[in-house]
Each structure stands twice: as structure tokens, then as C-alpha cells.
Chains A and B, each alone.
Chain A
Amino acid sequence: MSKTLDRIDQVGAVGEIRSEDLFINMGPQHPSTHGVLRVLATFDGEVVKSAKADVGYLHRCFEKIAEKRQLVQVVPYTDRTDYLSAITNELCFVMAVEKLLDVEIPMRAQYIRFIMAELQRIASHLLFFGTFALDLGAVTVFLYAWRERERLLDIFESVTGARMLYNYLRIGGVRNDVFDGFEKVVEGFLDDLEKRLREYHNILTGNRIFETRTKGVGVVSAEDAIRYGASGPVLRASGVKYDVRKAEPYLLYDRYEFDVPVRTEGDCYARYIVRMKEIEESIKLVRQALADMPVGGKIIGDVPRRIKLEGDTYARVDSPRGEVACYLVGDGSDQAYRLKWRSPCFVHLQLLELMAKGRLVADLVASIGSLDIVMGEVDR
């Protein structure tokens, strides 16, 4: 102790104490950056002075490839943008094409799409639940979340043949019908999940350490959320009640009853709670849809043999991560003339500096985790 004081005295005698900002590259290979996100951060001691996201390490020219492929061939590429919620991405692209072609989708296919999309939301939020806790140092939660997600992936595998990248939606409907007894299996899963959700809240939500790590951390005000184009759970956790499913109902969202969970704090904890509440709402939606799902019938509509895409359209979908949108331009051929993809995480990364500035390093990790970033979608 006295030694340090002596040294400070000595330094003071020669000149004033020098302090320097420390520049650190966080990522692109770093366990808490969910892939290959690079954060250019400067620190003053342990306090973040600036944190700029640098993206592009996973750029795969999705938009360029989409211009060179037949429309059906684009569907698997949309899977790979946001690989944790592939169905909602497929849905966005397929909806854009259907809007231009004016195809009517059979009721049975609508229900299958609807149920799969909501199940996908549950799977994605479960993954968030696990990885967010893991980011904060709670390893156990990850295993619990994985257990439930695994069952869900089994259901997806039985329906589509794949666990994560489905290539399941087709222009005008879906590729194949669900297996016999699908309703029962999903019902059973939902019943279990509902019980388990209580368990999850017991293990994490009331945890003192978890609360101190997340409450008041990474705050985004409602004003900033709108200005910076936040969407989905991030926007809703900041107190703005906006959901594409309510504002511009697609599929069957105008038929069934569900709430849009909103919190006003805008911190990491609020984003966590909103996502957990959304799981409950999804359970509600799937149950309602399963109850009156039509039996039999067509699963793909009448799509013209010769496709001619003309004009432009903008299709929007509420994915688990936020608003996924697709601007599709056709020039009269059977391929997309231009496809522009809106990825919510790409937009959310602009919030990073706002959230982390003036906070500690550990809070920067929590902030990234609470945005639920998928780099495949950011870089496309």
C-alpha cells in the first residue's frame, strides 16, 4: 500500500499521472460474440468509452446469388440467413413472391405454416434463454433450455426432414404434409413446456446475480429504439407496443387471440422477460391453431406453370429476432431482378454503442447477448 503511494508521489513529482485509453478488438473470434462479430472498443480502465460493431466476416453474397437462381432455389438460401429461425425467413421470401404472383394459399398449408412459425419462435427463444444465461456465466440453464429445444427439433425433423435448415416452404404452400399424429405430439410438448417454463423462471428469473447483471444494463429508451430502427422484442422491451403480427396481420394472426408483451424499462432484463412472455403467447397461439386445423385437403395452391415476376413488393414478417422484411423487384422474368433483405440484427448492432457507453466490460457482453444476435443474418 505504502509502496504504491510512494510511487504515485514520485510520479507526481516528475509530472502529472498519465492515463491512456485502451483499444481492444473484441472478436471476431470470441465466445460471447455469437459467431464472428468484431467490436472495436476503447476502454478507460474497465469503463467502455466507445464500442463500434464491425461486421461482414460472414458475408455470403445472398442477395447476389438470389438474382441468379430460380425462385424455388432461393428458399434454401433464406434458411441460411438466420439459421435459428429458418421458417420465418422462408416465410418472408415466399410471401413476397406470392404477393407478386397473387397466389392463393390453401387453408391447410396456412395452418401448417402458422404452427411451424410459432414453434420456431419457441425454439429460437429457448436458445436465447440458454445462451444469454451462458453469456452471464450461468451454465446450468443452457442444458435445460437445450433439453426442450431438442424435442422441438425432433418435431421439426419428423415434419421436414431437417433439424435446422428446413427448405420446407414452397411458393403457394408447403412441401409436404405433416405426419399422422402431429397434433398429439405438439400438444404433448406444449403441456410439458408450460410446466417447465415455471422451472425456468425459478432457476433464472429471480436469481440475484442474474438480476444485478441485467437490470438497468444496456438501457435503450423508447425514443432511441424507434430512431435506431429497433424491432421485435428489443423494441417492445423499450415500451413500444408494435408487432408486425398485429399491425399487418399475415397468415392467421388476425384470427387468433394473443397479447403483445411489453416492458418499459428497456434494459437487458426487460428484453429477457419479453422473450419469455412471448414463448407463453406462442404456446397459446399454437394451441388455438391446432384445435381447428382443417383435416386433409390441398397443401399447395395453384401456382402458374410459367412464373412472371413483375413490379415490386415489400413483405414483412415478425421473426423471433425482430422485423424481417424482403424487398423484391421483378422484371418480367422468372427470377428476382433484385432482392433486398432486411435483417433485424444488422439494424440492432447500431444500438450497441448506445447501450454499452459508460458501462463496464461485463455489461457490454450482457448487452450483446440480450440483442440475441445471429451473425449469419447480419452479414447475409
Chain B
Amino acid sequence: MADENEKVEQEAKASGAGSKADVDRQDQTQDEQGAPSEQAPMLSPLMQDVVDGLKAHLPGLKPTARDDEWVEINVEADALKEVALTLRDRLGFDYLSMISAVDYRDEGFEVVYHLLSLLANKKLVIKVRLADRENPTAPSVVDVWPTADFHEREAWDLMGVRFEGHPDLRRILMREDWEGHPLRKDYVDDRAPRERQTRETYYESYIAKGRSK
């Protein structure tokens, strides 16, 4: 805890003097946009840092640099847990911003993790492709980042992606007895449309109900 406070104070100092560094970084990205024909585009120092770290600790992955300051990696579902632990413990990605699930129809599902390193201000996207449409399953990362709990429940609820090892994988936004996963592209709401009630029909049904009692 004392460590944490120290870090925070350091960060406070750094961000006070950091505005200049930010400006430098922006200049660099502008240069980058100015000369798009270059073979190996210059990365901003922070992105370079992320890429170097990934190469050192997770040599199997191929990081790609996106032009909006995020570094992107594609990970196999089986390897996700290990990668997540390495990212948190070795590379300082302590903050999970969001988990999104996307339905790509025939190409299966994609689960996207947006990670931040709060103190170093590094950014990383993990994309996990799940080809199995019938039963898409990814390992849960709740024990790596506890905030994943609600996000994973939501992904299960609305998209039907199962997270193995999640302590309590229930529906979160929809009703518990809801059938199907509404955000899937092939989801059809096949409930019969409700009949339009007029004042007369409403009272009729109301009276009928009363009589049956």
C-alpha cells in the first residue's frame, strides 16, 4: 500500500511535468501521418515501449501498431490466461477498461479486451477469435482483473459467449428466463406481436378477468 502511494506521488509529479512530453509525442504522430509511404513507421515512444515489452516477454505474438496510439495483439483462446497474467505482472497492464464481444457471423465471435497501464499510460488491445459459433468459449479473466466479472456476464447475456472459470456466469441485463442472446446477428425475436389495445378491448379483457375469478 505504501508502495502504491509512492507510485501515485511519482505519477503526480510526472504528469505535472509531462505536458511537454505529450506535445512531443503528438508532433511525432503528425510527422508519421505526413510520410505514410515509409516502410517501418516511427512509433511513438510509449507504443515502442509496449511493442518492445511484448517482444521480450511474449515472443510468439505479433503486435501491430494502430494509428490511434493503441497496440493490438491477436491471441488464441487457449493462451489467453497465460498472456493476461504476463501482461499484468510483467508489463504493468493493471487496468481492464472494457470487454466487448462482436459477432462476425460466419467467422465466429471476437472478444476484445481494452487494457491500460494507468501509471505508464500504455494502451493495448487483445483480440480473441472464437470460431465455434455453436458454443463460443473463452477463458475467464476474473481472477486476473476482477472488474471483468460484470463485463463477462454481460457478454454471456447479450452475445452468448461462455467464459470458462467465471465464478457466477448468469444473465445480468436481460430477464433470467430470457431465451437466446439478443445482440447476436442471427437473433430473431419470434414472440407474437402484442395486440393493440383500444379502450373497449382493454375493458372487455378486464371484465372477463374479473368474471373468471
Is A242 engaged at the interface, CB distance under 8 Å to the other chain? yes
Point out the residue from A240, A323, A379 that lies within 8 Å of B8, measured CB to CB. Answer: A240
Per-residue interface assignment for chain B, residues 130 to 149, with 1 indicating a CB less than 8 Å from any chain A CB and 0 otherwise = 00000000000000011101
Is A246 engaged at the interface, CB distance under 8 Å to the other chain? yes
Is B174 a contact of A246 with CB atoms below 8 Å? Answer: no
A239 and B5 contact, Cβ closer than 8 Å, known pairs A227-B145, A228-B146: yes
A229 and B174 contact, Cβ closer than 8 Å, known pairs A314-B125, A338-B100, A342-B97: no
Question: How far apart are B162's CB and chain A's nearest CB, in angstroms?
Answer: 18
Is A44 engaged at the interface, CB distance under 8 Å to the other chain? no
Point out the residue from A56, A223, A227, A327 that lies within 8 Å of B100, measured CB to CB. Answer: A327
Comparing A59-67, A77-85, A108-116, the segment that makes contact with chain B is: A59-67
Bound form: Cα–Cα A242–B10 in Å: 12
**Which residues of B from 78 to 126 have beta carbons under 8 Å from A?**
94-98, 100-103, 112, 114, 118, 121, 125
Is A264 a contact of B147 with CB atoms below 8 Å? Answer: no
Comparing A32-40, A171-179, A247-255, A273-281, the segment that makes contact with chain B is: A247-255
Interface centre among B18, B23, B172 (most CB of A within 10 A): B172
Is A313 engaged at the interface, CB distance under 8 Å to the other chain? yes
Is A327 a contact of B98 with CB atoms below 8 Å? Answer: yes
Residues on the A chain within 8 Å of B18, using CB: 246
Is A338 a contact of B118 with CB atoms below 8 Å? Answer: no
Is B150 a contact of A222 with CB atoms below 8 Å? Answer: no
Is A356 engaged at the interface, CB distance under 8 Å to the other chain? no
**Which residues of B from 54 to 84 have beta carbons under 8 Å from A?**
68-70
Residues on the A chain within 8 Å of B97, using CB: 229, 316, 323, 325, 342
Per-residue interface assignment for chain B, residues 7 to 36, with 1 indicating a CB less than 8 Å from any chain A CB and 0 otherwise = 010011001001100110010000000000
A229 and B121 contact, Cβ closer than 8 Å, known pairs A241-B11, A264-B5, A338-B103: no
Residues on the A chain within 8 Å of B125, using CB: 314
The number of chain A residues with a CB under 8 A from chain B is 44
A346 and B150 contact, Cβ closer than 8 Å, known pairs A229-B145, A240-B118, A254-B19: yes
Is B100 a contact of A340 with CB atoms below 8 Å? Answer: yes
By beta carbon, the residue of chain A nearest B69 is: A248
Question: How far apart are B16's CB and chain A's nearest CB, in angstroms?
Answer: 9
Question: How far apart are B190's CB and chain A's nearest CB, in angstroms?
Answer: 16
Residues on the B chain within 8 Å of A229, using CB: 95-97, 145, 147
Interface residues on B, range: 35 or more
Bound form: Cα–Cα A241–B5 in Å: 10
Bound form: Cα–Cα A340–B151 in Å: 11
Is B174 a contact of A56 with CB atoms below 8 Å? Answer: yes
Residues on the B chain within 8 Å of A300, using CB: none
Is A61 a contact of B1 with CB atoms below 8 Å? Answer: no
Is B158 engaged at the interface, CB distance under 8 Å to the other chain? yes
Residues on the A chain within 8 Å of B53, using CB: none
Is A325 a contact of B98 with CB atoms below 8 Å? Answer: yes
Is A42 engaged at the interface, CB distance under 8 Å to the other chain? no
Residues on the A chain within 8 Å of B182, using CB: 61, 64
Is B147 a contact of A350 with CB atoms below 8 Å? Answer: yes
Residues on the B chain within 8 Å of A340, using CB: 98, 100-102
Question: How far apart are B109's CB and chain A's nearest CB, in angstroms?
Answer: 11
Bound form: Cα–Cα A312–B114 in Å: 12
Bound form: Cα–Cα A249–B1 in Å: 29
Is B4 engaged at the interface, CB distance under 8 Å to the other chain? yes
Is B169 engaged at the interface, CB distance under 8 Å to the other chain? no
Is A246 a contact of B146 with CB atoms below 8 Å? Answer: no
Is A49 engaged at the interface, CB distance under 8 Å to the other chain? no
Point out the residue from A226, A323, A380 that lies within 8 Å of B94, measured CB to CB. Answer: A226
Point out the residue from B19, B69, B102, B146 that lies within 8 Å of A350, measured CB to CB. Answer: B146
Is B42 engaged at the interface, CB distance under 8 Å to the other chain? no
Is B183 engaged at the interface, CB distance under 8 Å to the other chain? yes
- 16 more contacts with CB within 8 A, not counting A316-B97, A340-B98, are A56-B174, A59-B173, A59-B174, A222-B5, A222-B8, A227-B145, A227-B147, A239-B4, A239-B8, A240-B8, A241-B8, A262-B8, A314-B68, A325-B98, A338-B100, A350-B146
Residue positions of A touching B, CB distance < 8 A = 55-56, 59, 61, 63-64, 99, 221-223, 226-229, 239-242, 246-249, 254, 260, 262, 264, 312-314, 316, 323, 325, 327, 329, 337-338, 340, 342, 346-347, 349-350, 379-380
The 8 closest A-B pairs by CB, nearest first: A229-B147, A340-B100, A56-B173, A342-B98, A59-B173, A327-B100, A241-B12, A222-B4
